[in-house]
Amino acid sequence: MKHFFHFFIVPLVHFASYAQVNIEVIGDLPEEIWETSGLVYDFGRLVTHNDSSNEPILYELDTVNLTVKRRVEITNAENVDWEDVAQDDDYFYIGDIGNNRGVRRDLSILKILKKDFFSLDKIEAERIQFTYEDQLDFEDSGNSDWDAEALFVYQNEIIILTKQWKTNGTVAYSLPKTSGTHTAQKLDGYQINGLVTGATLQNEILILVGYSNLLNPFIAKITGLEKGSIFGGQIEQERLQIGISQVEAVTFARETELFISSENYENSNLSLNFKSRLYKVRFVDNSSDDSPDVENPPQETPKDSTNIPLQEHIRIKNSPTDSVLTIESDIEFGTIEYLHIFDVTGRSIKEILLPDANPYYVDVSDFPVGVYFMTIKGGKKLISKSFVVD
């Protein structure tokens, strides 16, 4: 998914005490797969694809140097809005299930024989077409609860998880794995308070990834799932400590290890550039020698006061009670002359030429809930800062 339209807050529910999530950056992805949207790992091979309006190609990625090793074209399909890929022993299943505005009547899953994928550069796919059993309205009303970006195979069925822009939850639907036209049957739902963008299942452990209104990525671990009750077991959720990131896909590499990918996001107006990256996540037993030393945590290195980043000479305070931003600059930055506020899509919200005053006050009472970015200019200095309206 390339844009953000609606915002929400994800509660930070930490994994239980027996588990800890360690995450490391493997590196930036090649430019041709900056819009990575799905991941699957099979026999040491990591496969990904881009999302909407890109070529109908699966890419095999080298997990060491992050180069593209192979490109396999699906010759009888278009990439309308590919959002995830899942697998069983014999097939890959590509979810052409992106549906931001809820108007699509051509949702489908492409079924690809693995032996063809690993031996040929051009292949054909079978098609599983479907509609949701309880979607009755296909009118364009903006961001929809009928979008989906995650799927996985469970007990001989395909499970689709919706990405609900309006209600901030997710609903599980089941489909048979056979080609043809089907009705997706509703199983159950969960108020995850986030946008679910990827899923992977192994050994009865389901992993979901997504992000919050602050673009903070999260990971959820679900155990004890059953066919008719995907969310009936234990659900544990926490934030991924990788900063702001548009996390899009996840796959098991081995029992306690995952690959996660994020999509590239750039906005020159805001001086923002979130790289498309590949991460490795490990679940670590706290009782092992790999556990962090809680009693003696590492000490932070004091900041060199003579080398403070320019951004730290500007302070932004916002109070939800009075909906007013307070912006202060110190003597190192000097007088603030101009503010330009954008939402996270890069859309201009407000431009302000400031009087000679410090601090400065900006009314944000008419701003929708969400994260915003402010370009601040003073003399020849230009910086970008973020703030939240909640």
- 3-state SS string over the chain? CCCCCCCCCCCCCCCCCCEEEEEEEEEECCHHHCCEEEEEEECCEEEEEECCCCCCEEEEECCCCCCEEEEEEECCCCCCCEEEEEECCCEEEEEECCCCCCCCCCCEEEEEEHHHHCCCCEECCEEEEEEECCCCCCCCCCCCCCCEEEEEEECCEEEEEECCCCCCCEEEEEEECCCEEEEEEEEEEECCCCEEEEEEEECCEEEEEEECCCCCEEEEEEECCECCECCCCEEEEEECCCCCCEEEEEEEEECCEEEEEEECEEEHHHCEEECCEEEEEEEEECCCCCCCCCCCCCCCCCCCHHHCCHHHHEEEEEECCCCEEEEEECCCCCCCCEEEEEECCCCEEEEEECCCCCCEEEECCCCCCEEEEEEEEECCEEEEEEEEEC
- Which pairing describes strands 381-389 and 370-378: parallel, antiparallel, or unpaired? antiparallel
**Integer Cα distance of 134 and 211 in angstroms:** 26
| pLDDT at residue 216 in the model | 78
pLDDT of residue 192: 94
Q: What is the DSSP letter of 117?
A: H
The whole-number pLDDT of residue 269 equals 57
> Above pLDDT 90, what percent of the chain?
56
- Residue 163: what pLDDT? 96
CATH match of 19-285 with 3.90.1150.10? no
pLDDT of residue 291: 43
Domain ranges of the chain: 19-285, 308-389
Q: What is the pLDDT of residues 334-363, one digit of tens each?
A: 777 777 887 766 677 888 776 666 677 888
The confidence score (pLDDT) of residue 345 equals 63
Q: Specify the pLDDT at position 199.
A: 98
Per residue in 269-315, pLDDT tens? 555 677 899 999 998 765 444 444 434 444 444 444 344 455 566 77
Query: What's residue 336's pLDDT?
Result: 76
Q: Per CATH, which fold does 308-389 belong to?
A: Immunoglobulin-like (2.60.40)
Q: What is the pLDDT along the chain (390 residues), one digit of tens a residue?
A: 444 333 333 333 333 333 478 999 999 999 999 999 999 999 899 999 999 989 999 999 999 999 999 999 999 999 999 999 999 999 999 999 999 999 999 999 999 999 999 999 999 999 999 999 999 999 997 889 999 999 999 999 999 999 999 888 999 999 999 999 999 999 999 999 999 999 999 999 999 999 886 677 999 999 999 888 999 999 999 989 888 788 999 999 988 899 999 998 776 555 567 789 999 999 876 544 444 443 444 444 444 434 445 556 677 776 555 678 888 877 666 777 777 887 766 677 888 776 666 677 888 888 887 778 777 777 656 777 777 777
Q: Model pTM?
A: 0.74
